[in-house]
């Protein structure tokens, strides 16, 4: 079976060669490498073209487009790839040599998604990351879905192999956000009730890169993170798979993540967001009703003065 490895890249001249070579050197041979050059203005395209000439027997395809962002690049990759199965690979990360082989074997049993473990590299420090709270083997998609809501497992679309027909046969909405988009898409996909299989193999190398958009704290990231979280929260409400306590936990975890931002941000936005926790969940619905009545009474009393 043909597996497509989808690699969106923007200005990745420092690491794109390492990334592509990790796919070329896979023990699994029937591979299509599809690189979406998302408007790079550095030497990324030249490096990819050079690798094509150096490895003429490999199916290495590059599609160049104007810069539209990661979500648009991934959508174009899915529409363009030829494989019956595909996996995502960020341009600054790599695949272990047996990654595709390990994930391809369960696919022969008609699964829709195969999920593996991953290695996290922080400089020279290696931190193995495993799928948590699962027995190895087939598991309920709903259990995996809830593990994402509670922040137990990775939101990333990477380190997973997907059956192409499962994406083609169902409508997948791509969100108009640029932070948290992986979580949104993965929850949307799991809501379609796929057959999932979890393996103990390490199938992905997550390499910390300080210049990556999703790994950089700046002023604009706060608003983008808030917009992304709000979109995911609204998605959870619409899917109706989480009870109010689980929605509360989802919001609470997001509040905790604000502590990664500079103090000027966390003290300004965090208290307001904590208020929304109490106002917006079933557990405090009675208090919400009481506060609304008190507000009306105070307002009427103020107006009548």
To the question of domain 3-213 being in CATH 3.90.550.10, the answer is yes
Residue-averaged pLDDT of the chain: 81
Return the domain boundaries, the chain. Answer: 3-213, 243-305
State residue 303's pLDDT score.
43
- Residues 162-170, mean pLDDT to the nearest whole number: 80
DSSP structure string for the chain: --EEEEEEESS-TTTHHHHHHHHHT-S---EEEEEEEES--SSHHHHHHHHHHH-TTSEEEEEEE----HHHHHHHHHHH---SEEEE--TT-B--TTHHHHHHHHHTTT-SEEEEEEEEEETTEEEEE---S--SEEE-HHHHHHHHHTT-S---S-SEEEEHHHHHSS--PPPS-SSSHHHHHHHHHHTT---EEEEEEEEEEEE--TTSGGG---HHHHHHHHHHHHHHHHHHHHHT-S-HHHHHHHHHHHHHHGGGS-HHHHHHHHHHHHHHHHHSSGGGHHHHHHHHHHHHHHHHHHHT-
pLDDT tens-digit readout, 20-37: 999 999 999 999 999 999
pTM for this predicted structure? 0.80
């Amino acid at each position: 079976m043909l597996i497509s490895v989808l690699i969106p890249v923007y200005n990745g001249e420092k690491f794109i060669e390492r990334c592509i070579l990790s796919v070329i050197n896979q023990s699994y041979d029937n591979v299509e490498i599809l690189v979406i050059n998302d408007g790079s203005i550095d030497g990324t395209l030249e490096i990819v073209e050079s690798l094509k000439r150096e490895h003429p027997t490999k199916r290495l395809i590059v599609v160049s487009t104007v810069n539209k962002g990661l979500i648009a690049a991934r959508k174009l990759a899915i529409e363009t790839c030829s494989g019956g199965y595909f996996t995502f690979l960020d341009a600054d990360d790599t695949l272990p040599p047996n990654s595709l082989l390990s994930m391809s074997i369960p696919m022969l049993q008609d699964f829709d998604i195969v999920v593996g473990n991953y290695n996290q590299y922080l400089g020279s420090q290696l931190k193995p990351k495993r799928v948590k709270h699962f027995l190895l083997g087939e598991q309920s998609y709903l259990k995996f879905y809830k593990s994402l809501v509670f922040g137990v497992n990775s939101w990333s679309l990477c380190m997973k192999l997907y059956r192409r027909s499962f994406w083609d046969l169902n409508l997948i909405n791509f969100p108009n956000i640029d932070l948290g988009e992986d979580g949104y898409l993965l929850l949307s996909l799991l809501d379609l009730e796929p057959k999932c299989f979890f393996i103990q193999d390490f199938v992905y190398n997550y390499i910390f890169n300080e210049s990556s958009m999703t790994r950089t704290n700046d002023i604009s990231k706060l608003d983008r993170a808030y917009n992304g979280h709000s979109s995911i929260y609204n998605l959870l409400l619409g899917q109706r798979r989480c009870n109010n306590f689980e929605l509360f936990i989802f919001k609470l975890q997001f509040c905790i993540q604000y502590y990664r931002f500079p103090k000027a941000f966390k003290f300004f936005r965090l208290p307001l967001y904590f208020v929304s926790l109490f106002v917006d969940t079933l557990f405090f619905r009675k208090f919400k009703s009481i506060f609304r009545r008190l507000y009306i009474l105070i307002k009427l009393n103020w107006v009548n003065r």
